[in-house]
Amino acid sequence: QVQLVESGGGLVQAGGSLRLSCAASAEIFTGFPMGWFRQAPGKEREFVAIISWNGVSSVYTASVKGRFTISRDNARNTVDLQMNNLKPEDTAVYHCATVLAGTTRPFGSWGQGTQVTVSS
């Protein structure tokens, strides 16, 4: 069964940290770029960070550069997002997804997401 399962969200004060984790089925993980995306209430979904299939390169949306770090473990089929110095504007539901190579576009299945709430 193809699936993505996100975890690690929660409520944190501004300036705090959270680490999100996503466990993926091998068929949608192995050999593919993976990304984290978020959707805040009333806003469109946006990409947050993407990591290459081998973990060598990554890209971030401007608002999280220097604060968030994406990583992956290809032996465990997991992709993590370390989020530091969180801000209230980071509040959103975070999803991981397989990414179309060379783009920031997700494709395929979505998990249930994990809620991140940052209080001021």
Q: Is the CB of residue 37 less than 8 Å from the CB of residue 46?
A: yes
| Degrees, nearest 5: CA angle 87-93-95 | 115
For residue 69, the Cα-to-chain-centroid distance in whole angstroms is 9
Report which of 57, 56, 60 is spatially closest to residue 81, judged by C-alpha positions: 60
103-112 tens-digit pLDDT = 999 998 888 9
60-100 tens-digit pLDDT = 999 999 999 999 999 999 999 999 999 999 999 999 999 99
